[in-house]
Structure 1
Amino acid sequence: MTALIGIDWGTTSFRAWRMGAGGEVLETVEDGPGILAAAALPGGFRQAIDDSIGPWLGAAPIIASGMITSRNGWVETPYLPLPLDARALAASLTLHQGIHFVTGAVSGPDGPAPDVMRGEETEIIGHLAGGGTDGLFVLPGTHSKWAQAGGGQLTAFRTVMTGEVFAALRDHTILGRLIRPGAGSADAFRRGVEAGRQDGALLGRIFSARTLALMNRLAPGDIADYLSGLLIGDEVAQGARAAAGPVTIIGRGDLALRYRTAFAVLGIDARIAPPGMARRGLWEIARMGKLL
Structure 2
Amino acid sequence: MTALIGIDWGTTSFRAWRMGPGGEVLDSVTDGPGILAAGALPGGFAQALQDRLGGWLDGAPIIASGMIASRNGWVETPYLPLPLDAGALANSLTLHDGIHFVTGAVSDPDGPSPDVMRGEETEIIGHLAGGGGDGLFVLPGTHSKWARTEGGTLVSFRTVMTGEVFGALRDHTILGRLIQAGPASPEPGRDDAFRRGVEAGRQDGALLGRIFSARTLALMDRLPLGHIADYLSGLLIGDEVAHGAQDAAGPVTIIGRGDLAARYQTAFAVLGRAADIAPPGMAQRGLWDIARLRGLA
**How far is the alpha carbon of 1:175 from its aligned partner?**
1.1
Match for residue 102 of structure 2?
Answer: 102
> How far, CA to CA, are the matches of 1:34 and 1:216 in structure 2?
41
Q: Is 1:72 the counterpart of 2:72 in the alignment? A: yes
Match for residue 205 of structure 1?
Answer: 210
Report SS of the residue matched to 2:131.
Answer: coil
Report SS of the residue matched to 1:74.
Answer: coil
Match for residue 289 of structure 1?
Answer: 294
**How far is the alpha carbon of 1:8 from its aligned partner?**
0.3
Unaligned runs of 5+ in 2: none
> How far, CA to CA, are the matches of 2:263 and 2:195 in structure 1?
9
Match for residue 113 of structure 2?
Answer: 113
Q: 1:221 aligns with which of 220, 226, 229?
A: 226
> How far, CA to CA, are the matches of 1:224 and 1:63 in structure 2?
38
> How far, CA to CA, are the matches of 2:72 and 2:44 in structure 1?
12
Report SS of the residue matched to 1:116.
Answer: strand
Per-residue CA deviation, residues 168-219 of structure 1 (Å, 9 max, x unaligned), is 0011001111112302400000000000001110000000000000000000
Match for residue 141 of structure 2?
Answer: 141
> How far, CA to CA, are the matches of 1:190 and 1:131 in structure 2?
32
Per-residue CA deviation, residues 201-245 of structure 1 (Å, 9 max, x unaligned), is 000000000000000000000000000000000000000013132
Per-residue CA deviation, residues 39-78 of structure 1 (Å, 9 max, x unaligned), is 0000000001100101111341000000000000000000
After the TM superposition, which parts of structure 1 deviate over 2 Å for at least 4 consecutive aligned residues? none
Report SS of the residue matched to 1:285.
Answer: helix
> How far, CA to CA, are the matches of 1:76 and 1:59 in structure 2?
24
Match for residue 182 of structure 1?
Answer: 185
> How far, CA to CA, are the matches of 1:103 and 1:165 in structure 2?
27
Match for residue 7 of structure 2?
Answer: 7
> How far, CA to CA, are the matches of 1:282 and 1:244 in structure 2?
28
Report SS of the residue matched to 1:80.
Answer: strand
Match for residue 234 of structure 1?
Answer: 239
**How far is the alpha carbon of 1:253 from its aligned partner?**
2.0
Q: Give me the CA root mean square deviation.
A: 0.7
Unaligned runs of 5+ in 1: none
Q: Percent identity?
A: 82
> How far, CA to CA, are the matches of 1:142 and 1:92 in structure 2?
27
**What is the one-letter code of the residue matched to 2:65?**
S
Q: 1:244 aligns with which of 242, 249, 257?
A: 249
**What is the one-letter code of the residue matched to 1:243?**
A
Report SS of the residue matched to 2:36.
Answer: helix
Deviates more, 1:17-26 or 1:176-185: 176-185
**What is the one-letter code of the residue matched to 1:182?**
S
- Calculate the TM-score normalised by the size of structure 1: 0.99
Matches within 5 A, 1:18-33: 18-33=18-33
Q: Is 1:258 the counterpart of 2:263 in the alignment? A: yes
Report SS of the residue matched to 1:199.
Answer: coil
**How far is the alpha carbon of 1:247 from its aligned partner?**
0.2
